[in-house]
Structure 1
Amino acid sequence: MIDFWLAAGLLLLVALSFLLIPVLRSRRAQLEEDRTALNVALYQERVAELQTQQEEGVLDAAQMDAGRAEAARELLADTEGVAAPRVSRLGKPAPLLAAVLVPVLGLGLYLHFGASDKVELTREFSQPPQSMEEMTRRLERAVAAQPDSAEALYFLGRTYMTQDRPADAAKIFERTVNLAGRQPELLGQWAQAQYFADGKQWSEKIQALTDEALKADPKEVTSLGLLGIAAFEGQRYQQAIDYWNRLLEQLPPDDQSRVALQGGITRATEKLVASGGKVAEAPAAKPAARLKVHVDLAAELKGKVQPGDSVFIFARATSGPPAPLAAKRLTVADLPATVELGDADAMMPQLKLSNFPEVQLVARISRAGQPTAGEWVGRSQPLASSTTAPQTLTIDSPDK
C-alpha cells in the first residue's frame, strides 16, 4: 500500500498547489504595494522640505520647481513596473482554510467510499498464503469487502469444511445459494455441511436438498457421496453400495478418491453379508448412445453456398432442453460426410444422448458461423437415441 499512498500524496500536493500559489502571489503583491506606499511617503516628505526651504528664502521659484521635478522622477522610477493591486473577494483566510480542509475531506471521503480494503486484498492474493489460517482470513476479508460475490462465498465455505467448521460452512453455502441460484453442486455442498453440522443426524431439510440436487443433476457427486454416507451410518448397506457405485462411475480413472470410495463399498458389502443380507447385482450400465449420420447437400443448393460456409451437425432432444446434446462442425467443402454423434460429444455432462430416449438430427449451414441460425437446414424425423442403423440427412430447406 506504500506506493498507493505515495501516489495519493503526490496528487494531494498538486491539488494544494492550486490553492497555495495564489496566496503566495498575493503576498508578493502586498510587499510591492507596501514599497510603493513608502516611496510616495518619501516623495511627499521631500516636497515638504523644498517648500520649507523656499519659504525661508533658501530656494527661489526655479529651484523649487527643479527640486519637485527631480523628486517626481525618482518616485516614477521606483514605482515603474509595479502592477495594480488585485482585490480578492475571498480574502486570505479562505484559501488557507481550504488548504487544510481539502486533504482532511479527501481522506475522509476515500476511507468512506473508497476501496482500500479491496486494493489490499488484491495485493495479498497475489502472494501465496503461508498457512490455511491465513487463507481463511483472506477469504473472510474478501467476503466482507464483497458480500455479493458468490465465488468468494463458495471458496470460503469449502475452506471452512476443510477446517472442520461445518456449521459455519452451512451458513456460507446457504448465502451462496441465495446469490447464485439453486445449482445442484451448491445444494450438495450445503446438504453435506448441514449434515456434519447437525452431528451426522439426517433431517428432512438435508433430504430435500439432496433430492433437489439429484433431480436437477442425477450425477451430482457430493449428494451421491453424502447419501451413501448417511445410508452406511443408518446400516442401510445396500443403499450405501448403490449410491457409492453411482458416484464411482462419475469419477475419472485417475481420481485418488476412487481408492477410498472402493474401500467404503467393500466395508458396506462385508457388513451386509455379515448381517445375513445379499448384495444385489448392479443393473447393467446403459450403453453409450452413438448415432452414425451421413450428411449431404441437396443438388439445387450447391450453387448457392460457398466452400467455407460452416456446417453444424447436432442432435437435440425432442422433449427436453433446446440445447444440442451432441454436435460436430464441418464446412461445405467437407460434404458429403459421415459423422458419429455420441455421449463423448456432449455439450454439457448432464446433457448426453443416452439420457434422452428420443432425439432429432439437424444439419445447418451458417455463413456467419452461428450454430443457432443460418441459411439452410436439414432435419430428420424423431428417432430413438439408441438407434444403431446409419441415418441420412440432407440439407435442402431454407432455415427459418
Structure 2
Amino acid sequence: MIEFWISAGLLCLIAMGFLLLPSLRRNRARAEEDRTAVNVALYEERVQALEEQHQAGVLDEPGLQTAQDEAARELLADTDGDAGRQRVRGRVVPMLAAVCVPVLGLLLYAKFGAIGAVEQARTAAEAPGTIEQITARLERAVRERPESSQGWYFLGRTLIAEGRAADAAKAFQRAAETGGRAPAVLGLWAQALYFAGDKQWSPQLDALTDEALAADPSEASTLGLLGIHAFDERRYADAIGFWEKLLAIMPAGEPSRQGIERSIAMAKAQMDQRSNAQDAPTPAKGIRLRVALADALQQQVRPNDAVFVFARAVDGPPMPLAVKRLRVADLPAEVSLSDTDAMMPELTLSAFEKVELVARISRAGDAQHGEWIGREQGAPRAEQALREVVIDALDKGASGNER
C-alpha cells in the first residue's frame, strides 16, 4: 500500500500547486501595486505642499531640500514595510494550505474511500505460489466480504484439495446460505460432509442429495457421491447406475471420465465375483485353534525360531493335511486351518472327520524335526469352535513317526 499513499501524496501536492500558486501571485502583485500607489500619491502631495511653502517664502532653498529628502526616505520606508508584511502573509497562506488540504483529503478518503478494495485488488493481482497461499488469500477475502457466495465456494474447493473436508463443509454451507442453495453447492457440501464423517451416511446427507437432484437431476457432484456411497455399501448395481448417469453428462474430453469408467469396471467385476461365489459350492469350515508356549520354555526359545502348526488325520495318512508357519515372537496366536492350507490337493482337511493338531518349534526351520512340540489329541473337527495347543514338551521324533 505504500505505493498508493506515495501516489496520492504527489497528486495532492500537484493539485495544491495548480490551485494556490496563481492565486498567491495575483494577490501579491495586486497588493503591492495598491500600497505603492497610495504611498506615491501621499509623497507627491507632500512634495507639492513643500513647493507651495517655498514659493510663499516659508521655506528657503536648503529647508526645501531637507524636507524633500525626508519625504523620500519615508516613502522608501513605507514601501519596504508593505513588502515585508506581504512576504509574511505570502508564507503563512501556503503553509496552512499544505497542512489542511492533505489532512482534509485523508479524512474524506477514510470515510468515503475504498482502501480495502484497493488492498484486495493489489493482493489479487499477485500470483499465488502454493495451494496454502491460495487458501489463505480466500480466507482473508471471505473475512472481508462474508456475504460473497463465490468466495465461500472457491474456499471450499481449495479446502477439499488440501484434505480439510470438515472446514470445506462449513465453507460450502456458507456458500449455500449466501448464494441461494445452488444444486452444485449442495452436492459439494454433501461430499465434504461424507468424507469429514469418515464415510458415514446420515439423514443430513439424504436431505442434501435429495434437494440437489430435485433441482437438477444431472448434478455431477451428487451423482458421484451417491455412486461412491452405493459402492461402499456393496450395492454395485446402484453404483453403476449413478456413475453411468454421470458419464452421460460429461464431455468427451473430460479428464475425470477415465476415473469414472474404471470405477464402473470395478463395480461390474465385484458383481461378477459375487455371482460366481454364490454359484460355487460352499467350502467346508476350517479349524480355529490357539497356539501358546508353556511358561517353562519361555527362557529356552528364541523370538525368531520357526513354529509350524499343522493338522493331520487320526485315521489316515501320516503326512500333514494343512500347515501354517509362525514365529515364537507371534505366540500366543490364533490360527485358522482349512482346505486352502492343504499340502496336497487330494488330501484336504474337510475329507477327515477327526484330526490331530500339532505345533512344533524348529530352529532350523524344518517342519518335520524340531526342539519342542505340543499336541491337541484328535477330536471331531466340528466339536468345538476354538481348540488349543500348548507347546510344552521336547520333540523326540519326526512328524511321520511320532505317534
TM-score normalised by structure 2 residue count: 0.52
Alpha-carbon deviation of 1:143? 2.4
1:64 is displaced (CA, Å) by 3.3
Kept in 2, the 8 Å contact 1:227–1:243? The answer is: yes
Kindly indicate whether residue 260 of structure 2 is the aligned counterpart of residue 251 of structure 1.
no
Q: Which residue of 1 aligns with 2:153?
A: 154
1:267 offset after TM fit, Å?
Answer: 2.2
So what's the TM-score if we normalise by structure 1?
A: 0.52
User: Higher helix share goes to which structure?
Assistant: 2
Cα distance per residue 1:172-191 (max 9 Å; x no partner): 21221222212211111111
* Deviations 1:48-76 (CA, angstroms, capped at 9, x unpaired): xxxxxxxxxxx986643442232113322
Q: Which amino acid aligns with 1:6?
A: I
d(CA) in 1 for partners of 2:197, 2:80: 90
Deviations 1:312-355 (A, max 9, x none): xxxxxxxxxxxxxxxxxxxxxxxxxxxxxxxxxxxxxxxxxxxx
CA distance in 1, matches of 2:198, 2:100: 58
Relative to structure 1, the CA distance from residue 237 to residue 221 in structure 2 (aligned partners, 3 Å threshold; closer, same or farther) is same
Q: Say if 1:78 and 1:275 are closer, same or farther in 2 by CA, change over 3 A.
A: same
**Residues 161-310 of structure 1 correspond to what in structure 2 (within 5 A)?**
161-276=160-275
Give the deviation of 1:145 after TM superposition: 3.2
Secondary structure at 2:169 match in 1: helix
State yes or no: 1:8 paired with 2:14: no
Query: Which residue matches 2:136?
Result: 137
Instruction: Give the secondary structure class of the aligned counterpart of 1:148.
Output: coil
- Residue 23 of structure 1 and its aligned partner are, at CA, apart by 12
Task: Tell me which amino acid in the other structure corresponds to 2:6.
Answer: L
Q: 1:140 to 1:271 in 2, by over 3 A?
A: same
Checking the alignment, whether the CA contact within 8 Å between 1:225 and 1:243 is kept in structure 2 is yes
Structure 2 distance, partners of 1:124, 1:208, is 39
Q: Tell me the SS of whatever aligns to 1:130.
A: coil
Return the alpha-carbon distance in structure 2 between the equivalents of residues 98 and 60 of structure 1: 54
Partner letter of residue 11 of structure 2? L
Structure-2 separation of matches of 1:199 and 1:97: 69
Distance 1:268 1:247 in 2: 15
**Worse-matched range after superposition: 185-194 or 71-80:** 71-80
Whether the aligned pair in 1 keeps the contact of 2:227 and 2:243 (CA below 8 Å) is: yes
Distance of 1:201 and 1:94 partners within structure 2: 76
Structure 1 pair 109/147, CA: closer, same or farther in 2 (3 Å)? farther
Q: 1:260 to 1:3 in 2, by over 3 A?
A: same
Asked if the contact 1:241/1:268 (under 8 Å) is kept, the reply is yes
Task: Tell me how far 1:100 sits from its aligned partner.
Answer: 4.2
Distance 1:83 1:104 in 2: 32
Task: Please list, as runs of the form range in 1=range in 2, the aligned pairs for 1:1-400 lying within 5 A after superposition.
Answer: 1-14=1-14, 63-80=62-79, 99-100=98-99, 102-104=101-103, 106-107=105-106, 110=109, 114-276=113-275
CA gap 1:105/1:72 in 2 versus in 1, 3 angstroms? closer
The alpha-carbon distance between structure 1 residues 125 and 270, as it changes in their structure 2 partners (threshold 3 A), is same
1:109, distance to aligned residue in structure 2 (A): 5.7
Distance in 2, matches of 1:206 and 1:277, equals 34
Aligned 8 A contact 2:165 2:196 in 1: yes
1:214 & 1:134 partners in 2: Cα distance?
A: 34
More displaced 10-residue stretch of structure 1: 210-219 or 255-264: 255-264
Q: 3-state DSSP class of the match of 2:252? A: coil
SS for the counterpart of 1:201 is: coil
Deviation at 1:246, TM superposition (A): 1.1
Amino acid at match of 2:148: S
The structure number with the bigger radius of gyration is: 2
The amino acid that maps onto 1:13 is L
Output the amino acid matched with 1:216.
Answer: A
Residues 23 and 92 in structure 1, CA contact (< 8 A), matched pair in contact too: no
Contact 1:19 1:96 in 2 (8 A): no
Structure 1 pair 235–108 and aligned structure 2 pair: CA distance change class (3 A): farther
Q: Quote the offset at 1:131 in angstroms.
A: 1.5
The CA distance in 2 between the partners of 1:111 and 1:163, in whole Å, is 38
What is the CA–CA distance in structure 2 between the aligned matches of 1:15 and 1:86, rounded to whole Å? 27
Calculate the aligned-residue CA RMSD, in Å: 4.5
Q: In 1, distance between residues paired with 2:107 and 2:263?
A: 59
Structure 1 residue identity aligned to 2:205: I
Deviates more, 1:148-157 or 1:60-69: 60-69
Partner of 1:391: none
Runs (5+) with no aligned partner, structure 2:
44-57, 278-403
User: Are the structure 2 counterparts of residues 60 and 262 from structure 1 closer, same or farther at C-alpha, using a change threshold of 3 Å?
Assistant: closer
CA contact (8 A) 2:24 2:90 kept: no
Structure 2 residue matching 1:256: 3-state secondary structure: coil
Asked whether the equivalents of residues 141 and 151 of structure 2 are also in contact (C-alpha less than 8 Å), the reply is yes
CA deviation digits over 1:89-122, x for unaligned, max 9? x999998677546545644664565433433433
